[in-house]
């Protein structure tokens, strides 16, 4: 069975491609009768919208934040890593952006061509990747590490003052 596209849905529903697009993207007004026909065609054809195409159409192709987590952290068994993922995920969702998760051991390629900024949960072993993000002029946030040497934002605990409390 071939992958169905928006043209197939329009043909099946007997409506224009623009109508299908408005239904799929929940944009503009569509008569209930036509919306029902499109919904039925989508179910019948088992149509799944192409997320990349939707981003391009909505001019949201670059609304992506990268989150880099070191491979030494088993993300699925680490409460800390899951808390970071959950917190960043909630914030990104509120901003109506997408999250690109990159789990790395430091020597893997970090593709920053489609992101608006990058968050590093730790930079141990990822210094070259941080340098690449900074050189590209992208906003960068580093967690658990303070640096005055780079033009980045840092989030960390003041262990000295925390110990005094």
Identify whether the C-beta of residue 87 lies closer than 8 Å to the C-beta of residue 148.
no
* pLDDT level of residue 90 (50, 70, 90 thresholds): very high
Does domain 6-58 fall into CATH 3.40.50.300?
A: no
The confidence score (pLDDT) of residue 108 equals 66
Rounded to two decimals, the pTM is: 0.58
Considering the chain, tell me which residue range(s) the CATH 1.10.260.40 domain(s) occupy. Answer: 6-58
95-123 mean pLDDT = 81
31-60 pLDDT, tens digit per residue, is: 999 999 999 999 999 888 765 566 555 555
Per-position b or e across 114-146, b if 16+ CB within 10 A of its CB: ebeebbbbbbeebeebbebbeeeeeebbbbebe
The confidence score (pLDDT) of residue 29 equals 86
Question: How many helices, marked H, and strands, marked E, lie in the chain?
Answer: 7, 5
Cβ partners under 8 Å of residue 134, min gap 6: 140, 150, 151, 152
Cα–Cα distance between 149 and 165 in angstroms, integer?
A: 29
* pLDDT level of residue 71 (50, 70, 90 thresholds): confident
The confidence score (pLDDT) of residue 32 equals 93
Does domain 64-163 fall into CATH 3.40.50.2300?
A: yes
Considering the chain, tell me which residue range(s) the CATH 3.40.50.2300 domain(s) occupy. Answer: 64-163
Higher pLDDT, 50 or 103: 103
């Amino acid at each position: 069975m071939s992958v169905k596209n928006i043209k197939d849905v329009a043909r099946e529903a007997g409506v224009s491609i623009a109508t299908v697009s408005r239904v799929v993207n929940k944009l503009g007004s569509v008569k209930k009768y036509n919306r029902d026909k499109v919904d039925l065609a989508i179910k019948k054809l088992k149509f799944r919208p192409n997320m990349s195409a939707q981003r391009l159409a909505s001019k949201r192709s670059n609304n992506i934040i990268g989150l880099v987590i070191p491979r030494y952290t088993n993300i699925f068994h680490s409460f800390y890593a899951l808390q970071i993922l959950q917190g960043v995920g909630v914030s990104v969702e509120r901003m109506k952006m997408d999250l690109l998760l990159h789990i790395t051991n430091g020597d893997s390629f970090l593709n920053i061509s489609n992101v608006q900024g990058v968050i590093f949960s730790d930079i141990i072993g990822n210094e070259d990747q941080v340098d690449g993000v900074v050189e590209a002029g992208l906003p960068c946030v580093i967690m658990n590490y303070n640096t005055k040497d780079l033009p980045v934002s840092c989030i960390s605990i003041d262990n000295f003052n925390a110990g005094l409390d």
